[in-house]
Structure 1
């Protein structure tokens, strides 16, 4: 394992806690969870830590913003039990998830860019019946009904005939779903994206949400770099 875990200056739990803005209980919890190597004990049973434990704590706290608390914990546990390859696999999975999230964002932006204002003839009372909408999209009415069952569409019912009527928002949702399906996305992947459009109140307000989405993905990517640097420093110190 390289150097002795207890080499160098001895640190009390309170020293480690104050140096990282934590409580002493949090430090003990991290040790018990395997985030930190096991501490030595004094003759009276008190924990003592070293600079190695401080490095482990720095690495963990740096990993959390990019990978999340659970994955960061699993990474540190793997490192501390000597399973560095497992730790790298967990890191790779986080990077793959970030890449998938970027692809999803690009797909949403592309789909939104391909949408056009509703120009098809409306039915009396406003909106489109299922047949004309299916024809416009080049799909079967059964497909629209399937999307409705999956929660992608919420057409209203004509009070006289009981037929489905798609207002402007429902037509927009159908077109967005169509674009994403053409991009290879599954219905369960599309549903939360359309929910974002609805929550934003349409396409124009969604632009702010998309900018925020970009910002959060960039922040995650940068946090992963910071976490990688601290983890590398910890690995070097472990030897």
Structure 2
């Protein structure tokens, strides 16, 4: 097959296919005596897997998976995929936490022995302390201060930070996130909150299905690699 033959299935340009090969996302192609690339069914399967991984996990993760596979580091590729599933599970748990928070807003909060510093919370979310300070400036987070003036994040603050992290990955601006978090804090705007939760759930479900499709496509590609 030619680059155009692979590209046509996905609405891509031939140059995009050549770029994917040059970047290591497709296995190297053989060449004709005149220098033209020759692609096979294995390359077509690799392209399907790579594009499915993008839909399920994003460009960066998809690239890391394919590079690891082509370097014969299968376990490294699987570890990257496992981490992607871990993030999705965390998103689901955050949604559940928000739903519980919306129902428990009037309850007296229990003491939180697991208060966190800004560094600990940043590490938990894989963001920088500067990001948390930006969220505080936007009104998303309202940590208390200890006697020395350092920020202290309680259970409610961690919940708000998890929600902010989820929404930022979904592309929401800080102003919108601040509004939703305030709705949760005040138990107001429940209709808007319900719509937001339904939208987040739909996106999480869609990503889960995309991950399943990516796993199937990647499995097909790996099976072909083993036979060739």
TM-score with structure 1 setting the length: 0.66
**Compared CA separation, residues 137 and 107, structure 1 to 2 (3 A):** closer
- SS of the residue 1:151 aligns to: helix
* Pair 1:94 & 2:84 matched: yes
Residue 14 (structure 1) aligns with: 4
* Pair 1:210 & 2:183 matched: no
Equivalent of residue 151 in structure 1, options 136, 140, 143: 136
**Counterpart-to-counterpart distance in 1, 2:22 and 2:193:** 44
Equivalent of residue 197 in structure 1, options 154, 163, 180: 180
Deviation at 1:19, TM superposition (A): 2.2
**Compared CA separation, residues 199 and 38, structure 1 to 2 (3 A):** farther
**Counterpart-to-counterpart distance in 2, 1:31 and 1:52:** 13
* Pair 1:38 & 2:28 matched: yes
2:94 touches 2:163 (CA, 8 Å); kept in 1?
no
Equivalent of residue 76 in structure 1, options 53, 66, 79: 66
Deviation at 1:76, TM superposition (A): 0.9
Deviation at 1:185, TM superposition (A): 2.1
Equivalent of residue 217 in structure 2, options 230, 235, 239: 230
- From the CA coordinates, give the structure whose radius of gyration is larger: 1
Which deviations, in whole Å up to 9, do the C-alpha atoms of 1:56-76 show, x marking residues without a partner? 001111111111111011111
Deviation at 1:115, TM superposition (A): 1.9
> Which residues of structure 1 form unaligned runs of 5+?
1-10, 118-135, 155-169, 175-179
**Counterpart-to-counterpart distance in 2, 1:73 and 1:190:** 27
Residue 174 (structure 2) aligns with: none
Number of aligned residue pairs: give it. 184
**Counterpart-to-counterpart distance in 2, 1:196 and 1:57:** 41
